[in-house]
Amino acid sequence: MPDIFETNALAYEDARRTVAEFEGTTIADDFKIQAIQHLLKTDPVAALYDALDAAEIASHDGGPDFLDRLETFCKLATKVVLPKTTTPQEWTDGARHLTYLVSVASNLYYDARVERSETGINPDRYRKPLERMANAIWPSELMFAHRLQDANGSKIAFRAHDLPFEGSWPMLWTHKADGGTDIANPLIVPRQTKTEVQRLSNAINRCLQLTPSQVAAITTGEPQNSEAA
C-alpha cells in the first residue's frame, strides 16, 4: 500500500534538488525563497518531516548543526498553510500529519530560535514525534524490520541502494556480523526516489534504536566511536 509521501514523490524530488542547488550560491535570496516555497507547496508534510529528521540525526553529533537544523524545521513550519476543515473527521492523513508537525515545531520554536541551549532540549521532544509518525505511516515496514532483526544473531541496519533498479529505488539491509547485504524487496517494496527510501531507512534504523554512527559502522564496516559502541 502506498504511503502518504508517494503521491508527490517525483515532484518533491525535483523541488528538493532545486533548493539544494541554490544553497551556498550567490543567487538572489528571492530565488531561494521561491524554491523553498515551492518545496512546501509540493509536499509540506515531506518537507517538515525531512527537516525534523535531519535535525534528529544531527543531534547525535553534539555540534551546532543540530540547533541550526532544528531552527530550520521551526522556520519552515511557520510558512505552512494548514488545511481548512470544520471537524477532525474531515482531515486526510496528510492534513493530520501536517497539523501535528506544525504543533511540534510550535513547541520547539523558542528553544530552537531564542534560547538555543545545546543541552536544554529533551531528545524525546523531537525524536518521539518522528517515531510516532513512522509507526502510523510505515507499520508493516517497521514490523518486518523488527522480525528480521529478531531472526538475526547480530545487529542489522538499513539504507537506500546507491543505484535505481528497473525504474525504482530498492532498500538494502546489512548484517553486522559479516557485512553481508541483501535487498529488502519484496517485503519492503522499492520507492520512486532515493529520498523516499532514505527517509524510510532512517525511520527503521531509529525504530531499531540505532544511532547514525552505528548505522554507518554496520553498513560500511567503519569502526564505531564511543556513541555507537
Residue-wise DSSP of 162-178: SS-BTTBB-EEEEETTT
| Per-residue pLDDT at 108 exceeds 80 | yes
| Per-residue pLDDT at 3 exceeds 80 | yes
Give the chain's domains with CATH numbers: 9-137 (no CATH), 139-220 (3.30.160)
Residue 172, beta-bridge partner list: 159, 183
Considering the entire predicted model, what is its pTM? 0.90
d(CA 51, CA 49): 5
Q: Are 209 and 224 in contact (CB under 8 A)?
A: no
| Per-residue pLDDT at 12 exceeds 60 | yes
Which tens digit of pLDDT belongs to each residue from 64-76?
888 889 989 999 9
d(CA 119, CA 80): 28
Which tens digit of pLDDT belongs to each residue from 146-155?
999 998 878 9
Section 133-154 average pLDDT: 92
Residue 209 pLDDT: 95
